[in-house]
């Protein structure tokens, strides 16, 4: 799993870094993004480019977003 913690970064760095990591993601890899908000624009980019994601707020102001390119991967197994 690739971990990318962008909670302390200012806009637009979190989105730019997440998109860059997603572009490099292989079909066998999983990206875990930790963010201070739910990055809805990222979801649109991931979905339009053949990716899949699971978003969950794990505590107040802490979101874990799990992203993959593998359509057969059950993202629920990565739920926190």
pLDDT in tens, 10-33: 999 999 999 999 999 999 999 999
Q: Using CA atoms, how far apart are residues 50 and 69, in angstroms rounded to an integer?
A: 6
Q: Which domain holds residue 28?
A: 2-78
What confidence score (pLDDT) does residue 20 get? 98
Q: Using CA atoms, how far apart are residues 16 and 58, in angstroms rounded to an integer?
A: 23
What confidence score (pLDDT) does residue 36 get? 97
Q: Using CA atoms, how far apart are residues 36 and 63, in angstroms rounded to an integer?
A: 6
What confidence score (pLDDT) does residue 1 get? 95
pLDDT in tens, 30-71: 999 999 999 999 999 999 999 999 999 999 999 999 999 999
Domains identified in the chain, total number: 1
**To which H or E segment does residue 15 belong?**
helix 13-24
User: Residue 14's domain is classified under what CATH number?
Assistant: 3.30.110.40
Residue in the structure block whose two tokens are 């979905």: 47
Structural contact between residues 27 and 72, judged by C-beta atoms closer than 8 angstroms:
no
């Amino acid at each position: 799993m690739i971990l990318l913690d962008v909670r302390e970064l200012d806009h637009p760095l979190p989105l730019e870094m997440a998109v860059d990591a997603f572009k490099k993601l292989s079909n066998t890899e999983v990206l875990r993004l930790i963010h201070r908000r739910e990055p809805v624009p990222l979801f649109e980019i991931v979905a339009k480019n053949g990716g899949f994601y699971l978003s969950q707020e794990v505590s107040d102001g802490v979101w874990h977003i799990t992203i993959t390119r593998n359509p057969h991967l059950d993202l629920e197994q990565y739920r926190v």
